[in-house]
Structure 1
Amino acid sequence: MHDPEDDIIDDDQPPLPEGPGLFGDAPAARPAAAPAAAATPYRVLARKYRPTTFDDLIGQEAMVRILRRAFVVGRVAHAFMLTGVRGVGKTTTARIIARALNCIGPDGQGGPTAEPCGVCANCTAILADRHPDVLEMDAASRTGIDDVREIIEATRFRPMQARMKVFIVDEVHMLSRNAFNALLKTLEEPPAQVTFIFATTELRKVPVTVLSRCQRFDLRRVSQSELAAHFGRIAGREGAAITEDALALIARAADGSVRDGLSLLDQAIAQGGDSEAGDATIRADRVADMLGLADRGLVFDLLDAVMAGEPAAALAITDQAHMRGADLGLMLADLLELIHTVSRLKAIPALRDSGELPESERVRGAALADALGVPVLGRAWQMLLKGVAEIETAPDRREAAEMVLIRLCYVADLPPPGDLVRQLQADPGRSQPVAQAAPASSASAAGGPTMELRAVSGGGRATSAERRPMPDAEPDPVAAAPAIEAPPRVEPPPPPSLRSWREVVAFIAGQREPILHGQLRHCAHLVRFAPPVIELRLQPQTPKDLSQRLAALLSAATGTRWTIVLAREGGEPTLAEQADALDVDRSRTAAEHPLVQAIMAAFPGARLGAVNDASLDAYGLPPEPIVTDQMLNEPAAPDMEFAPLDSEPVGLDDLDNEVGLPDP
């Protein structure tokens, strides 16, 4: 029987050939039609759930509030600059603004509105990215001035279909300097029917002249709590069950980017739960495996082992993570982030009750914050920061990571340098960290009196050492009694001894007077130094009150009235001039050295750098001879006269008794 449907020809398929084929074969049969479900390709979550209205944008409340108000009062700018990290919604916001400007409503009579209908011709065309009056240009691939000239030429014509022509330029910072200059005039006086929307991740690379002509919006990073809640809603719509800890891992890995987080969520949903165990729920361990991260609980255990000074336990944890496929470099980065989290919990106790962190991190992180001190956390942060950089250059990442952890374990018991200095000052004879006794547990009491030594680590947790038995001896009450000592007598510091002009200048440097110190070093010529009188010749640009300030400081420090006399001429070079002259002499002497000349001849174009002399003082001058008070108080040696070289020798008999010789 003939079926009428066999005569229906599908326009999407080519007609069947009549008769045999080119090589005599039979006509090919029409291929079976593909199922209807395969005709619709899968859309990733980042595209499927792209915001279409201002209400769909998350984490950008300030920008949404301003734009809504601008449409209500009719004060929409002609140019916008949207900036922020990747994936926060810059291009999406630009498309929403384009729809809001061109929406005509379901009845075709509407005007610009902050609530685009989404069903009119303009809205649907902009959503499908095929509207002739909304043009998008990627400045990363079209950076030249010719591309900008096309935009400028297009602004001369009225819109073909919509109310406004909208030009969306993504990654605008990639435009060349000539392209920016060509765009300036159009940006300053654009046609009434044109709106520019720029998006960039590098705002500093955009010229200020362009920024001043745009209304700027900074799209901030979306917080982890908002991202986790958003991803949870999308997972519910997709029919996927995922735990809060898994969502927290995805939100943390997204780093404030909604698009990056949706891509990771898409991957996690495709991975699914543990099918072998019959559990369809996506848990944190599955997400950690997908991201190449270590389990968050393992990171906490690793920090516990490191701070307890247990390298064997720390390396056992890294072996476990390595067997699961985790990158130890990323694990150390997670450890670095955990130390930052613990430090924030210690600095801001209110975070322990907030919803920014998962419950597990709040509980274990708060316990670590109470047990560890800020110096210990800071030292671990610095060592890990260097260790992560070492891993990137090491030939074996695992070995480098384990070496970093071993170093951390062995410094966990050490007190911070400040505590060590204070301990040594309190007891100069002590060379080991202070140890305090702790009572033994009841389990060890049966074996005899014991004590446990705990090394004090600068506000950190006490680390248990080996328990050692103590002899059975009654404590001596007299020896155990603390000694009562009188407080030490605090004597006032002796006045400074200023024996030279250079010592005076150095004394002023120690009085936290940098301006006065610089003026004395560069602008004061010493004429006469006779304490407590100093005669100086000052350069014309020196302040007039310099002498009064200098005299007041010296008098207050020494308890002696000092007088500063100003001269109009004379005086030796300033300290800075003396240092410069010596530097020139050293450079000239070094350049004349045969070895240096040979090196210059062997390496043409080489230059002689600064010549350093370790024997010079802070002013670049040779140290002054030490003059003691005894030398200052000694009487001067008497002047002695010597006979000429050609004089005749004189005997004792020729000398007159008037010279003071005794009579024979």
Structure 2
Amino acid sequence: MSDSPQPYRVLARKYRPRNFRELIGQDAMVQTLGNAIRRGRLAHAFLMTGVRGVGKTSTARLIAKALNCIGPDGQGGPTIDPCGVCEPCMAIAEGRHIDVVEMDAASHTGVDDVREIIEAVRYAAVSARYKIYIIDEVHMLSKNAFNALLKTLEEPPAHVKFLFATTEVNKVPVTVLSRCQRFDLRRIPAEMLAGHFAHVVEAEQVAAEPDALSLIAQAAEGSARDGLSILDQAIAHAEMGEGEPMVTAAQVREMLGLSDRGSTRRLLGLLLEGDTAALLGGVRDQYALGVEPLSLMRGLLELVHAVTLVKAGRDIATPGQSDEERGALADWASQIGFGPLHRLWQLMLKGHDEVATAALPIEACEMALLRVMHAATMPDPSDLARMLQGGVPAAAPALPGQAPAAAAPAPEPASSLPASFEDLIEAFWQKSKGHLAQEMHDCVGIIRYDPPMLEYRGTASLSPDFATRIIPALREVTGVAWTVTQGEGEAQPTLLANEQRQLADSRAAILETPVVKAAMDAFPDAELVHSDEPEQWSAEA
């Protein structure tokens, strides 16, 4: 009877680092640990923090190996380069060492789980140099569990080491952080990840285009585990030829729903030229190919950022960057000023956020790009200021391929504008903008009201997007462009606060009248309430 085949191990597990040399992107931490081990300055507790997939738990296991390695001859001591062949190294790698205890805090959050550790640390290690406790996602422990662990963590026995790993270090109490030696594991650069993936596909006897590995590395966002999981999927997605499977950039883009860089450059070119029909057609073509609208917006954002960096004089050339892309970036950087570039970035960033939450993503993407295109001819803030002061601004700088905006006329006189803030709110009610009117009434305190200028200070309950909503609404209600600023100076009370104060004063005055005082003394449980009729009070027993 033949042996059953070994089950397939995913790449993220198969290529987990077995020693510190294979731990990529964390050289500073490895150097610090190496120096500490060589000098015998070992902390009793270590905390590894960083985003998912950068090697926190793997580092904890490697530290356990380093501290308990005895070498091939059984005579070795702690080392930054564990042999991997001695019994402690092999047992730790296989997860069966009795003195290396791993605990997932996400499923062991209570004080009882920590109490077991506290009781066990009193006993010496069975077969290792150090008894080691690895607690993953330590921030998930309850407050009581952390408190129970504090004393042991501060003064553990000499044979015990604690190794903590977390993705959310801000949730770990400061009292715990202060008792640990902390290592912040960095995101792994995309170039380093691509090189690592090249070694992996070679070991797996799989062919892969360099551009495909670069795309996977960028999609991994600094996480080796995420990248290996995507690579695993890409190998499964690759077509089998006569020989080994071939992972291509086109297949990776299709699998991840990414737009290729050439298509993104063409879309940005159409946007800058103001070609509405061609832009919308290009967006729909990408959508038909499986490109997600959010990915499309992100690609355009990355391209605008790259143009801005080139204009700022930064060399952003990468090994996989084509001559065509370098030329396009340099050409745009020479034609577009910093002001329009910043405006492009802000408008696209807003569009990206809208697409991320939209019920109709592709429609939201089209509308966002159309807004970017037509907002390019808006005047700069300095021109708007001159408009408000009665001057006529110069034409706004246009993007390449677009006609400059015509000079805007001077604003109309403000003599017919609402004379007071109360009148302005009444105008909003008359224009069926009751929600904004109520918000202004309840949450806005006036610092300065000088139409068409409004400076205010909002209460804590004022919505964060109030300023962006009030400016177009003021133009619609009054027919004039307003300058609206949120100040920090002393402001008048809100209209709601004034009404509440007047109501309280009226109530206090009524309660002080002899008749009401006598009635309240006679009926201790009576209460003075305000009726629906204006300025009417009544007593209820």
TM-score, length-normalised on structure 2?
0.72
**Larger helix fraction of residues:** 2
Question: Contact 2:26–2:186 at 8 Å: present in 1 too?
Answer: yes
Q: CA RMSD in A?
A: 3.4
Residues 1:329 and 2:268 aligned together: no
Q: Deviations over 1:134-180 (max 9, x none)?
A: 00000011100000011111111111111111100000011011111
- Structure 2: how far apart are the matches of 1:584 and 1:150? 56
Question: Which residue is equivalent to 2:333?
Answer: 369
Count residues with an aligned counterpart. Answer: 430
**1:286 aligned residue (243, 251, 254):** 251
Question: Contact 2:235–2:245 at 8 Å: present in 1 too?
Answer: no
1:132-531 to 2 correspondence within 5 Å?
Answer: 132-273=98-239, 281-352=246-317, 361-418=325-382, 433=395, 456-457=397-398, 460-463=399-402
Residues 1:56 and 2:22 aligned together: yes
Question: Which residue is equivalent to 1:536?
Answer: none
Residues 1:598 and 2:537 aligned together: no
- Structure 2: how far apart are the matches of 1:314 and 1:274? 37
Question: Which residue is equivalent to 1:4?
Answer: none
- Aligned in 2, Cα 1:585/1:304: closer, same or farther, shift over 3 Å? closer
- Aligned in 2, Cα 1:56/1:600: closer, same or farther, shift over 3 Å? farther
**In the alignment, residue 264 of structure 1 is paired with which amino acid?**
I
Residues 1:72 and 2:32 aligned together: no
- Aligned in 2, Cα 1:161/1:244: closer, same or farther, shift over 3 Å? same
Question: Contact 2:153–2:179 at 8 Å: present in 1 too?
Answer: yes
**In the alignment, residue 198 of structure 1 is paired with which amino acid?**
F
The alignment partner of 2:269 has SS state of helix
- Structure 1: how far apart are the matches of 2:384 and 2:336? 17
- Aligned in 2, Cα 1:110/1:287: closer, same or farther, shift over 3 Å? same
Q: How far 1:255 sits from its partner (Å)? A: 0.6
**In the alignment, residue 347 of structure 1 is paired with which amino acid?**
A
- Structure 2: how far apart are the matches of 1:68 and 1:317? 54
**In the alignment, residue 312 of structure 1 is paired with which amino acid?**
A
In our comparison, the structure showing a higher alpha carbon Rg is 1
Gaps of 5+ in 2: 405-446, 448-488, 508-528, 537-541
Gaps of 5+ in 1: 1-32, 435-455, 466-505, 507-574, 603-664
- Structure 2: how far apart are the matches of 1:367 and 1:359? 12
Q: How far 1:198 sits from its partner (Å)? A: 0.3
Q: How far 1:341 sits from its partner (Å)? A: 2.7
The alignment partner of 2:208 has SS state of coil
Question: Contact 1:308–1:412 at 8 Å: present in 2 too?
Answer: no
The alignment partner of 1:410 has SS state of helix
Seq. identity, %: 51
Question: Contact 1:133–1:164 at 8 Å: present in 2 too?
Answer: yes
Q: How far 1:209 sits from its partner (Å)? A: 0.9
User: Which structure has the higher relative contact order (CA within 8 Å, separation 6+)?
Assistant: 2
The alignment partner of 2:298 has SS state of helix
Residues 1:116 and 2:115 aligned together: no
Q: How far 1:223 sits from its partner (Å)? A: 0.9
- Structure 1: how far apart are the matches of 2:269 and 2:132? 57
- Structure 2: how far apart are the matches of 1:165 and 1:374? 59
- Structure 1: how far apart are the matches of 2:380 and 2:76? 70
Question: Contact 2:109–2:145 at 8 Å: present in 1 too?
Answer: yes
**In the alignment, residue 101 of structure 2 is paired with which amino acid?**
L
Question: Which residue is equivalent to 2:451?
Answer: none
Question: Contact 1:311–1:405 at 8 Å: present in 2 too?
Answer: no
- Structure 2: how far apart are the matches of 1:329 and 1:587? 47
- Aligned in 2, Cα 1:224/1:114: closer, same or farther, shift over 3 Å? same
TM-score, length-normalised on structure 1?
0.60
- Aligned in 2, Cα 1:188/1:589: closer, same or farther, shift over 3 Å? closer
Q: How far 1:598 sits from its partner (Å)? A: 2.2
- Aligned in 2, Cα 1:162/1:414: closer, same or farther, shift over 3 Å? same
- Structure 1: how far apart are the matches of 2:132 and 2:22? 21
- Aligned in 2, Cα 1:280/1:312: closer, same or farther, shift over 3 Å? farther
The alignment partner of 1:81 has SS state of strand
Q: How far 1:344 sits from its partner (Å)? A: 2.6
Q: How far 1:417 sits from its partner (Å)? A: 3.4
The alignment partner of 1:330 has SS state of helix
Q: How far 1:234 sits from its partner (Å)? A: 1.4
